[in-house]
């Protein structure tokens, strides 16, 4: 069942009176192409469509049908039901026409500001990922797509755009070819892992280091130690997260999700490598960065081959949070051996207080994240602390 925004019938009728064409769109949501409401919508869009394309999304697959109209409208049908409608306000490669928004939502056009939309659609709105604003309206959601400071389309959907991917991303050339499907419709796990790793190597996707590494996914799943294992990779073009999910006792799946929704999916702590890795993997873990301790929101202590490193968080103004990574020097090591956890909290405070992003700070030159191997250090620390971050705590199944 799709989550929709419900209000009482009086409000629905009042809205219908104010926005007759928008009402036509909302009435068509979740309907089949044979339904009267959907046929009415297609008439209003100037149907029949100038092009119809179909694709499978994810595994088990959702069958998506995309109908494009000369007027600039597009209708998306998922498994036989209308899931979203795009009103393109500028011509696209497929539609030379463009929608006159004022005919669909009285009181606004493609030059309108947020206040005008609030007057037209109601004062409530929220962000729907990618900085897009979304208005809940009776029977669905209205999302505004802004590119280069220009309103280019309005997307009307049954599902809250925070929870589902933008329909215009379905044909993303970088990621829509994944997964590889098995004959039963589910993902061919090994082939899909390989496809994801290839796309990461090609720079099309970015592997999310706070989930199970793709390289470990199969072995960890086969160990049976976790109720489910999951790897995630994010498309660098469209921003969707591809979530390859392997439950211990159920069929695997590959789902596309908005980044924010994907990062909140549940995951147990990943068991120690010694319990499931082969000799090579265990050796790599022994030689790699290892979590030792942390103070929530402030610092992580990791170590490699007996050398402790402190990842200390700082704020450079109200909008910039980052961290530095320093190898503990002799004095810092002595303090740590003497005072333990408290010595690291004091050191993290000294680092944050010394504006470590400035040239004057003694910690800037020591910051390993700024060195030639900065990315390798970040990846190694992210992997080491993946079970201990704030978001990992939020993901714990409750």
Of the candidates 139, 163, 144, the residue with the CA atom closest to the CA atom of residue 154: 144
Least separation in angstroms between residue 102's CB and Zn ion is: 33
Least separation in angstroms between residue 62's CB and Zn ion is: 16
Kind and range of the H or E run holding 206: strand 205-207
* CA 226 from centroid of its chain's CA atoms: 23
Least separation in angstroms between residue 176's CB and Zn ion is: 6
Q: What residues from 183 to 242 belong to the interface with Zn ion (CB under 5 A)? A: 235, 237-238
Alpha helices in 310-389 (DSSP H): 330-339, 341-353, 362-366, 374-384
**Binding characters for Zn ion, 267-306, by CB under 5 A (x = yes):** ----------------------------------------
Kind and range of the H or E run holding 40: helix 36-44
Q: Out of 82, 89, 154, 172, which residue is the one contacting Zn ion (CB under 5 A)?
A: 172
Least separation in angstroms between residue 169's CB and Zn ion is: 6
Least separation in angstroms between residue 74's CB and Zn ion is: 18
Q: What residues from 324 to 363 belong to the interface with Zn ion (CB under 5 A)? A: none
How big is the site for Zn ion, counted in residues (CB under 5 A)?
Answer: 6
Q: Is the dihedral of CA 131, 136, 137, 138 positive or negative?
A: positive
Least separation in angstroms between residue 237's CB and Zn ion is: 4
Q: What residues from 237 to 266 belong to the interface with Zn ion (CB under 5 A)? A: 237-238
For 282-314, letters b (16+ CB in 10 Å) and e give eeebeeebbbbbbeeebbbbbbbeeebbbbbbb
Nearer to Zn ion, 21 or 181 (CB): 181
Q: Does 174 bind Zn ion (CB under 5 A)?
A: yes
Nearer to Zn ion, 98 or 175 (CB): 175
Nearer to Zn ion, 89 or 199 (CB): 199
Contact in structure between 172 and 237 (CB atoms under 8 Å): yes
Residues 6+ apart with CB under 8 A from 92: 72
Contact in structure between 352 and 315 (CB atoms under 8 Å): yes
Least separation in angstroms between residue 315's CB and Zn ion is: 32
Nearer to Zn ion, 84 or 99 (CB): 84
Nearer to Zn ion, 201 or 315 (CB): 201
Residues 6+ apart with CB under 8 A from 228: 245, 246, 247, 248, 267
The span of 31-39, 51-59, 170-178, 345-353 binding Zn ion (CB under 5 A) equals 170-178
Nearer to Zn ion, 73 or 258 (CB): 258
User: CA 160, 164, 167, 169: dihedral to nearest 10 degrees?
Assistant: 140
Nearer to Zn ion, 198 or 237 (CB): 237
Least separation in angstroms between residue 240's CB and Zn ion is: 5
Question: Cα separation of 325 and 362, whole Å?
Answer: 13
**Binding characters for Zn ion, 127-166, by CB under 5 A (x = yes):** ----------------------------------------
CB atoms within 10 A of CB 112: 17
Nearer to Zn ion, 235 or 267 (CB): 235
Least separation in angstroms between residue 172's CB and Zn ion is: 3
Q: Residue 375 — φ and ψ, nearest 5°?
A: -65, -40
Question: Cα separation of 327 and 381, whole Å?
Answer: 12
Q: Out of 77, 120, 142, 175, which residue is the one contacting Zn ion (CB under 5 A)?
A: 175
Nearer to Zn ion, 233 or 235 (CB): 235
Kind and range of the H or E run holding 10: helix 9-18
Exposure on the CB side of residue 382, measured as CA atoms within 13 A: 15
Least separation in angstroms between residue 385's CB and Zn ion is: 28
Nearer to Zn ion, 138 or 161 (CB): 161
Binding residues vs Zn ion (CB under 5 A): 172, 174-175, 235, 237-238
């Amino acid at each position: 069942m799709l989550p929709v925004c419900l209000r009482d019938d009086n409000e629905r009728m009042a809205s219908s009176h104010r926005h007759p064409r928008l009402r036509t769109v909302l009435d068509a949501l979740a309907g089949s192409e044979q339904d009267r409401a959907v046929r009415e919508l297609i008439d209003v869009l100037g149907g029949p469509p100038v092009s119809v394309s179909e694709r499978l999304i994810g595994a088990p697959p959702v069958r998506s049908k995309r109908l494009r109209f000369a007027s600039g409208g597009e209708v998306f049908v998922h498994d036989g039901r209308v899931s979203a409608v795009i009103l393109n306000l500028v011509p696209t490669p497929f539609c030379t026409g463009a929608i006159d928004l004022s005919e669909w939502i009285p009181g606004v056009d493609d030059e309108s500001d947020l206040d005008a939309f609030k007057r037209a659609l109601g004062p409530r709105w929220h962000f729907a990922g990618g900085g897009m604003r979304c208005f809940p309206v009776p029977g669905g959601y209205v999302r505004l797509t802004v590119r280069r400071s220009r309103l280019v389309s309005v997307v009307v959907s049954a599902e809250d755009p925070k929870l589902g991917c933008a329909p215009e991303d379905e044909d993303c050339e970088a990621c829509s070819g994944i997964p590889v499907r098995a004959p039963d419709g589910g993902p061919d796990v090994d082939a899909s892992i390989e496809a994801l790793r290839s796309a990461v190597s090609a720079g099309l996707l970015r592997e999310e280091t706070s989930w199970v590494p793709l390289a470990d996914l199969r072995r960890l799943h086969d160990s049976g130690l976790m109720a489910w294992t999951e790897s995630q990779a994010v498309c660098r073009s469209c921003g969707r997260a591809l979530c390859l999910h392997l439950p211990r006792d159920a069929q695997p799946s590959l789902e596309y999700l908005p980044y924010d929704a994907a990062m909140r999916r549940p995951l147990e702590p990943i068991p120690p490598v010694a319990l499931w890795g082969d000799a090579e993997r265990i050796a790599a873990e022994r030689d790699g960065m290892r979590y030792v301790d942390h103070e929530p929101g402030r610092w992580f202590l990791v170590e490699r081959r007996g050398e402790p490193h402190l990842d200390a968080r700082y704020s450079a103004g109200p909008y910039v949070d980052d961290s530095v990574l320093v190898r503990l020097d002799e004095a810092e090591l002595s303090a740590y051996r003497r005072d333990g956890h408290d010595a690291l909290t004091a050191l993290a405070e000294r680092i944050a207080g010394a504006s470590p992003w400035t040239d004057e700070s003694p910690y800037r030159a020591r910051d390993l994240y700024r060195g030639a191997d900065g990315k390798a250090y970040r990846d190694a620390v992210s992997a080491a602390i993946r079970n201990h971050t704030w978001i990992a705590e939020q993901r714990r199944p409750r």
